[in-house]
């Protein structure tokens, strides 16, 4: 069931950028976890700005590619959080939860498809 419109998805993407960018300060992430969080914020921002969806500004990335990237990023964050020994405590939980959220948003998003009800 695809219940998240492209417009709502874009807003959620910008919220995701904010969460990744503010996590080092709010959660006290340091070292690799801090760098990963800032990198993910930057990558997610670029992807959102360049995607051909209502909140995108420079619409050159097709929604199918945006969808594929998020399909990959969600599980990679979950697996990475569980497998990377350098992540401890809150960082591990943060990245695993963000991976789960990204995957859930991917699961419920239209990604430019019409809703066949």
Lookup result for tokens 């939860």: 97
The residue among 82, 99, 88 whose CA lies nearest residue 33 is: 88
Lookup result for tokens 């066949």: 116
Residue 17 or residue 113, greater confidence: 17
Locate 56 and state its tokens: 């995108």
**49 belongs to a structural domain:** yes
**1 belongs to a structural domain:** no
Provide the whole-model pTM: 0.91
**114 belongs to a structural domain:** no
* Mean local confidence (pLDDT), 67-90: 89
Q: What is the DSSP letter of 1?
A: -
Helix (H, G, I), strand (E, B) or coil at 59: coil
- In this predicted model, what pLDDT tens digit does every residue of 5-17 receive, in sequence order? 999 999 999 999 9
- In this predicted model, what pLDDT tens digit does every residue of 87-99 receive, in sequence order? 777 899 999 999 9
**117 belongs to a structural domain:** no
């Amino acid at each position: 069931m695809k219940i998240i419109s492209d417009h709502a998805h874009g807003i959620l993407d910008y919220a995701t950028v904010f969460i990744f960018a503010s996590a080092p300060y709010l959660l006290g992430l340091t070292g690799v976890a801090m760098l990963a969080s800032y990198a993910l914020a930057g990558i997610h921002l670029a992807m959102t700005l360049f995607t051909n969806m209502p909140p995108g500004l420079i619409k050159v990335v097709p929604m199918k590619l945006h969808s594929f990237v998020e399909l990959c990023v969600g599980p990679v964050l979950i697996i990475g959080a569980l497998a990377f020994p350098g992540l401890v405590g809150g960082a591990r939980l943060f990245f695993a939860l963000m991976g789960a959220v990204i995957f859930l948003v991917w699961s419920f998003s239209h990604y430019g498809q019409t809703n066949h009800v």
